[in-house]
């Protein structure tokens, strides 16, 4: 299978990630932050070490600011529902994933949507600035669109938020580990991550990073602290880690960060973007192919590309590719906003998202198949 | 003399251990006693100046419950 659905989850994991997960299962199977026996303390040390790696990678200010959640969606829910009260005004981009828009909608209808320009980051930042009001309680934006790959100007938006005193939440599901994200430099107050994408880690562990407070948690339970109290304090990180964390996954995240640091985030990004760019150039030459964003230039787009074969439903195209052993994602990618922006709510799009392990020959094969069906459509 | 400082979570206990070690302390971590503890948690166990250790933890924003 040629796996090109890495924006959903990376299909191939580095050998060191697999080894780390197995090592954790064999040697660290104890509950961190609970017991006082050696195995529990070793597990706690291991988790703490990965918090530290994440803190360093994202300029988070310390391992105590890093919480492990069930996934990025849960992390976003913690922030959105922990900060906002019913009816609070919030600003979001028009490329947000449902992981942002659905929890937000459950809390408030008082939402302003800032348009993202594909070609002018100043314009995008200006749209955010205009949308922020005196009573705005939170600004949320994705680091990079999971449909178009567009990277948002986080530093510009963050600077506006800081100037206006509004907390800034970034959904780093697509950007974390792929594009540069530094919380301090970009004035990010809350960062949520999906390490199974950018760090090639196992699925089902997300990350919430913040130095700020969150007024309440939305999932209570045992967390190893204040056990005689029936009220759970929303302190980072334990206040957002009710129940047992997935130590094998967390240890795998640590190995994934080491992998990205060893190969070089910039090198990985350059490779993935070159494949997306190459594909874009070839598809652009085909009359029967629809593209929805400009050429994915360095620093402007993450390696995610949407297209359609004219006259074909995106699911039909993905099914044909699947029969040729090529894995891509069709449909609406859990993003009502992005597909409304692209005017693809009827057809959806076919999304191609290469990773570090993909090769140019695989893209050539994809192009060959697309050409065949594009001609005969 | 052996001192103990109780800390509510293992994350802060590990951070406390690291900052005290950087400041020349020999520090271990153990579960804090159940009696009068208010719940579960960990203790930093070390020899050396207790007040200085508390000051170091304060400077690093590490909350502790008591020193004994």
DSSP letters for A19-33: HHHHHHHHH--S-TT
Report the sign of the C-alpha dihedral through residues A278, A283, A284, A286, in that order.
Answer: positive
For the record, the structure tokens of A219 come out as: 């999932």
Give the residue from A317, A331, A329 showing the smallest Cα distance to A369: A317
- Confidence band (pLDDT; 50, 70, 90) for B34? confident
The reply to whether residue A33 touches residue B29, judged by beta carbons under 8 angstroms, is no
**Residues forming a β-bridge with A138:** A90
Measure CB to CB from residue B30 to each of A36, A64, A237 and give the nearest one: A36
Q: ipTM of this model? A: 0.89
Asked if A18 and A208 count as a contact pair (C-beta separation under 8 A), the reply is no
Mean of the pLDDT values across residues A294-316? 97
Based on the fold, state whether residues A74 and A39 are members of the same structural domain: yes
Nearest CA in chain A to B35: A228
Q: What is the pTM of this model?
A: 0.96
Identify the band that residue B44 occupies on the pLDDT scale cut at 50, 70 and 90: very high
What is the pLDDT, as a whole number, of residue B36?
Answer: 64
Orientation of helix B10-22 relative to helix A38-58, angle to 10°: 80
Give B12's contacts in chain A (Cβ within 8 Å). Answer: 64
pLDDT tens for each residue of A346-371: 999 999 999 999 999 999 999 999 99
- What does the pLDDT look like over A154-187, one tens digit per residue? 999 999 999 999 999 999 999 999 999 999 999 9
Contact assignment for A228 to B41 by CB distance below 8 Å: no
Within a domain: A100: yes
pLDDT at A374: 87
Cα angle value A327/A330/A331 (rounded, 5°): 160
The tokens 């190893």 sit on which residue?
Answer: A224
pLDDT score, position A337: 97
Query: Does residue A64 sit at the B interface (CB-CB below 8 Å)?
Result: yes
* CATH assignment at residue A281: 3.90.1150.10
Nearest to A275 by CA among A196, A361, A372, A197: A361
| A322: Cβ contacts below 8 Å, ≥ 6 apart | none
Residue A314 confidence (pLDDT): 97
B16 Cβ under 8 Å from any chain A Cβ: no
Could you tell me if A107 and A208 lie in one domain?
yes
List C-alpha distances in Å: A145 to A207, A215, A219, A232, B3.
Answer: 18, 28, 28, 35, 52
DSSP secondary structure letter of residue A225:
S
Distance between CA atoms of residues A32 and A63, nearest Å: 15
Q: What architecture does CATH give domain B2-59?
A: 2-Layer Sandwich (3.30)
Query: Do the domain assignments include residue A203?
Result: yes
Torsion of CA A158, A161, A166, A171, to 10 degrees: -30
Q: What is the CATH number of the domain that holds A250?
A: 3.40.640.10
Given an 8 Å threshold on Cβ–Cβ distance, is A225 in contact with B8? yes
Find out whether A5 and A329 touch, Cβ atoms under 8 Å.
yes
> Is residue A102 helix, strand or coil?
helix
Same domain, A252 and A293: no
- Domain count for chain A, please give it: 2
Interface of B with A in 37-66 (CB under 8 A): 38-42
Q: Which residues of A touch B21 (CB under 8 A)?
A: none
The residue out of A262, A280, A312 marking a domain boundary is A262
Question: What's the mean per-residue pLDDT of chain B?
Answer: 89
Interchain CB contact of B34 with A (< 8 Å): no
Average pLDDT over residues A146-151: 98
Residue A7 domain flag: no
Contacts of A25 (CB under 8 A, 6+ apart): A248
| pLDDT the model gives residue B38 | 66
In chain A, pLDDT over 70 holds for what percent of residues?
Answer: 100
**Residue range(s) defining the domain that contains residue A201:** 15-262
């Amino acid at each position: 299978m040629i796996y090109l659905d890495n924006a959903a989850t990376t299909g191939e994991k580095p050998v060191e990630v697999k080894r780390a997960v197995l090592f954790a299962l064999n040697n660290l199977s104890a509950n961190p932050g609970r017991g006082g026996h050696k195995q529990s303390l070793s597990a706690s040390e291991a988790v703490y070490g990965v918090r530290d790696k994440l803190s360093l990678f994202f300029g988070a200010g310390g391992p105590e600011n890093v919480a492990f959640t069930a996934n990025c969606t849960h992390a976003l829910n913690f922030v959105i529902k922990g900060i906002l009260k019913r009816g609070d005004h919030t600003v979001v981009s028009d490329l947000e994933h449902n992981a942002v828009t659905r929890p937000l909608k459950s809390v408030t209808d008082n939402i302003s949507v800032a348009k993202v320009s594909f070609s002018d980051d100043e314009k995008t930042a200006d749209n955010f600035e205009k949308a922020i009001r005196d009573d705005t309680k939170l600004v949320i934006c994705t680091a990079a669109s999971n449909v178009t790959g567009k990277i948002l100007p986080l530093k510009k938006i963050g600077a506006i938020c800081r100037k206006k005193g509004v907390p800034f939440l970034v959904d780093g599901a697509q950007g974390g580990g792929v594009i540069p994200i530094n919380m301090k430099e970009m004035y990010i107050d809350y960062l949520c991550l999906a390490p199974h994408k950018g760090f090639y880690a196992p699925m089902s562990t997300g990350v919430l990073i913040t130095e700020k407070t969150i007024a309440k948690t939305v999932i209570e339970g045992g967390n190893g602290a204040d056990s005689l109290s029936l009220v759970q304090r929303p302190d980072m990180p334990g206040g957002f880690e009710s129940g047992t964390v997935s130590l094998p996954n967390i240890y795998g995240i640590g190995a994934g960060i080491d992998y990205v640091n060893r190969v070089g985030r910039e090198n990985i990004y350059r490779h993935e973007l070159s494949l997306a760019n190459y594909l874009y150039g070839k598809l652009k030459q085909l009359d029967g192919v629809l593209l929805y964003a400009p050429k994915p230039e360095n620093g402007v787009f993450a390696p995610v590309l949407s297209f359609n074969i004219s006259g074909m439903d995106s699911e039909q195209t993905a099914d044909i590719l699947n029969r040729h052993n090529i894995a891509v994602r069709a449909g609406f990618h859990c993003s009502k906003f992005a597909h409304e922006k692209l005017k693809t709510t009827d057809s959806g799009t076919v999304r191609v998202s290469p990773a570090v392990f993909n090769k140019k020959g695989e893209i050539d094969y994809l192009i060959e198949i697309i050409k065949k069906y594009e001609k005969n459509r | 003399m052996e001192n103990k400082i109780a800390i509510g979570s293992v994350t802060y206990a590990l951070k406390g251990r690291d900052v005290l070690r950087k400041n020349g302390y020999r520090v271990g971590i153990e579960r804090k006693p159940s009696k009068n503890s208010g719940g579960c948690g960990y203790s930093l166990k070390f020899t050396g100046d207790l007040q200085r250790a508390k000051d170091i933890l304060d400077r690093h924003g590490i909350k502790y419950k008591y020193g004994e």
